[in-house]
Amino acid sequence: MKQLLEFLGVALLFQGAVGLIHRLTGELRGWGLVQRLGFLDGYETYASVALIVLACALFAAVRSQRAD
């Protein structure tokens, strides 16, 4: 379970970072999931920041789990 949460955290962090880079510079076209979702038009920056915050929350959850 720990590895799955870590993988999801890395994927969300990557998607959020790509979304912010694309929004701020226009580079990395086609790499991000946020730009492909039509209902997020105009809210790409907020969605990218939300993905990064969610990734940090997942990393914190993984870290708070007891070592078995």
Per-residue pLDDT of the chain (68 residues; tens, 9 = 90+): 888 999 999 999 999 999 999 989 988 777 888 888 888 888 999 999 999 999 999 999 999 887 65
pTM (predicted TM-score): 0.87
Q: What is the pLDDT of residue 45?
A: 92
| Domain assignments of the chain as residue spans, ordered by start | 2-64
Q: What is the pLDDT of residue 26?
A: 84
- Three-state secondary structure string covering the chain: CHHHHHHHHHHHHHHHHHHHHHHHHCCCCCCCCHHHCHHHCCCHHHHHHHHHHHHHHHHHHHHHCCCC
Q: What is the pLDDT of residue 35?
A: 85
